[in-house]
Amino acid sequence: MLSIKLAYKNLIGAGLRTWLNVFVLSLAFVIIIWHKGMLDGWDHQAKSDMIAWECGGGQYWNDKYDPNDLFTLEESHGILPQTLKELETKKEATSILISQGSIYPEGRMQSVLLKGIDPDQQILDIPSTKLKTAGSEIQVLIGEYMAKTNRLKKGDVFSMRWRTSNGAFDAADAVVAGIFKTNVPTVDAAQLWLPIETLRQMLDMPDESTILVTRQISENHPEAKGWKFQNLSILLSDVDKMIQAKSISGSILWLILMMLAMLAIFDTQVLSIFRRQKEIGTCIALGMTKGQVIRLFTIEGAMHSIFAMIVALLWGTPLLYLQAVKGITMPGDKNTYGITIADVLYPSYSLGLVASTCIIVFITTAIVSYLPSRKIAGMNPTEAIRGKIK
Amino acid sequence: MISESIITIKGLTKDFPVGSGYFRALNEVNLEFGRGEFAGLIGPSGSGKTTLLNIIGSLDTPTKGEVIVLGKDISHLNSQESASLRKEKLGFIFQSYNLLPVYTVYENVEFPLLLLNLPETERKKMVMEALEWVGLTQKVKSRPSMLSGGECQRVAIARAMVKKPIIVLADEPTANLDAENSHHILRTMATLNQELNTTFIFATHDEKVISYLKRRITLADGSLVSA
């Protein structure tokens, strides 16, 4: 307790020197929390968008389906077994049939994925009801990015070509029944959504599906032969990997910031021990042990981080709060990023994030403060009193 | 004749390593100090005054010989025990005051009491009493940088005396002061010596200090010339 009291007095008494260090350290605090909050916010947003638009509560995949291998699409479809059909009947899941095709907007050719979806489904956020529009052409839904890259707008008609289950090529005209806006590129880029029954007829695959998307809150995932259930941790693993990769690059920033702050503390400690040797000698003469003086200097250094937390709280809280409320607008055309990212990113600051940052910075500061303070142990107090240690 | 011996020094030798050899700062010193003495170690620079004072103050240890301070053998004290001896029984006054620069006058004088873990009310009473002894009650909130040299040394005296130690060790306390301030602080210390029966041991070659001493111990080249 005494060491804390004395350390506090010494720090306050040191004036500007203390506050400069505290400000540098508070910068590190705020930037570390902000950066991690951005990643957490992005992670949270990307995952909730992917769940809403693509993954649902998990998916059953046809055994042969591999989303990373388009050649599997020809084989990866089948009639759902009874257990899965029941889920669909109870509106606990919705089927999606996937095939390859090409479209020819304005005479150009574009390879696309044809995705059949039930227009009445309410499992995913895809506005499939727009597919219920009556007309002689095939009604299709596309995302904004797809519309932009192919210069398509609502009502545009274009030719579409595909291969049936027999391997024969077929073609028809399609009309853009609607354009939706999404942050999930995997349901937008080069994707054409059409009524599943229409696609089944086109492909000559009656009652067949490639995947079955379950409802978000559903925990009913029965075993089904020929179909494997993919839970969210598998479906969202790409996001996890991406965030992890960003976290690694972020940790370099973290390291640089911490090193800057710690360098300031270390420098101050080394200078302090050299400049304040008379004070150290006097403290020993007045009855402190070397251990107590080392503890005093270590606490002094570590206390910078406590002051920095308070200072960071004062100027960082309004700043971080403002960002959490207003968000950060992503620059340029974020659709070209190829990753799930919203127009506006909202950082997410959890208590755990703030607490862990505070603990890490405090412990690091304490260690950095202790290292130069150990020099005191080797000091001759009679020399120190006279300030004669070189 | 010493009434009550509180410091006994027998055959004290202190060597300091210099290059491959050593420098003998004290050579076979034998001395004794009693309670309430106002004594001084006199001699030119390099005679061993400060070294002897440091050993009595348990800031340094003898190379050879025995130094018993208040019943404790300095050679056999561990760092905890010697810190405890300094904290409870000894007071120090230094040539360059050695006040803690970021503390106020009050805080500087309070410091030894904080180390003794005394309650705040008691501390306050003792600090104000000590500041009264040295006539600095009006400067409690001043920092050392705002004080004159004489005032700083008076604060140092108050800090040394605040816990009413049995022994005060003063190393050249007037070296940085003018004549008027020197006499002022010497009178203060002489009064405290009489009123509190505190033993004062000076290391000095200042004639002004010497004139106040009741006992003069002369050192030359580390050896005792007269006691």
Q: Which of A2, A5, A9 comes nearest B102 by C-beta? A: A9
CB B147 within 8 A of CB B72: no
Is residue A43 located within the same domain as residue A165? no
* Among A308, A305, A311, A283, CA closest to A367: A305
Q: Are residues A43 and A67 in the same domain?
A: no
Q: Which residues contact A204 (CB under 8 A, 6 or more apart)?
A: A164, A165, A166
Of B59, B88, B102, the CB nearest to A381: B59
Q: Kindly state whether residue B222 falls inside one of the protein's structural domains.
A: no
**Do both A96 and A188 map to the same domain?**
yes
Residue B225 domain flag: no
Specify the number of domains making up chain B. 1
The last residue of one of the domains, among A230, A246, A275, is A230
**Closest CA–CA distance from residue A8 to any residue of chain B (Å):** 11
**A299 located within any domain:** yes
Residue B108 lies in a domain: yes
Flag whether B227 is in a domain.
no
Residue B98 φ/ψ region, left for φ over 0, alpha for ψ in the -120 to 50 degree band, beta for the rest: left
Q: Which DSSP symbol is given to A375?
A: G
CATH code at B92?
3.40.50.300
Helix (H, G, I), strand (E, B) or coil at B32: strand
Q: With b meaning 16 or more CB within 10 Å and e meaning fewer, what string describes A208-223?
A: bbbbbbbbeeeeebee
A62 and A43: one domain? Answer: no
Number of C-alpha atoms within 13 angstroms, CB side, residue A381?
Answer: 28
Partner A contacted by B165 (CB < 8 A): no
Are both A127 and A70 inside the same structural domain? Answer: yes
Considering the domain boundaries, does residue A201 fall inside one? yes
- The residue among A230, A261, A282 that closes a domain is A230
Q: What is the phi/psi pair of residue A31, to 5°?
A: -70, -40
Is B25 domain-assigned?
yes
> Are A46 and A148 contained in the same domain?
no
Residue B27, domain extent: 5-217
Q: Cα A39–A44–A50 angle (5° rounding)?
A: 120
**Whether B222 contacts B47, CB under 8 Å:** yes
Whether A305 is in a domain gets the answer yes
Residue B49 located in a structural domain: yes
**Out of B100, B107, B117, closest to residue A282 by CB:** B100
Rg of chain B, C-alpha, whole Å = 17
A21 to chain B, closest Cα gap in Å: 18
Residue B224 lies in a domain: no
Q: Which residues of B touch A291 (CB under 8 A)?
A: 79
Q: Does any CB of chain A come closer than 8 Å to the CB of residue B118?
A: no
Q: A226 with A96, same domain?
A: yes
Say if residue A226 is in the same domain as residue A299.
no
Between strands A110-117 and A227-230, the pairing is unpaired
Q: Give the total number of structural domains in chain A.
A: 2
Domain that holds residue A135: 58-230
Give, for all 390 residues of chain A, the pLDDT tens digit. 778 888 888 888 878 888 888 888 888 888 888 888 888 888 888 888 889 999 999 999 999 999 888 888 888 999 999 989 998 898 899 999 999 999 999 888 999 999 999 999 999 999 999 998 777 789 999 999 899 889 999 999 999 999 988 888 999 999 999 999 988 888 998 999 999 999 999 999 999 999 999 987 767 677 888 899 999 888 988 888 877 887 787 778 778 877 887 887 788 788 878 888 888 889 999 999 888 889 998 998 889 889 999 999 999 889 988 888 888 777 766 566 666 666 777 888 888 888 888 888 889 888 888 888 888 877 888 888 887 665
- Is the residue at A16 inside a domain? yes
Same domain, A22 and A106: no
Q: Provide the 8-state DSSP code for A331.
A: P
CA separation for the pair A146, A148 (Å, rounded)? 5
Q: Could you tell me if A274 and A378 lie in one domain?
A: yes
- A390 domain-assigned: no
- In 3D space, the residue among A232, A210, A213, A65 whose CA is nearest the CA of residue A126 turns out to be A213
Domain limit, last residue, from A230, A259, A275: A230
Same domain for A268 and A186, yes or no, is no
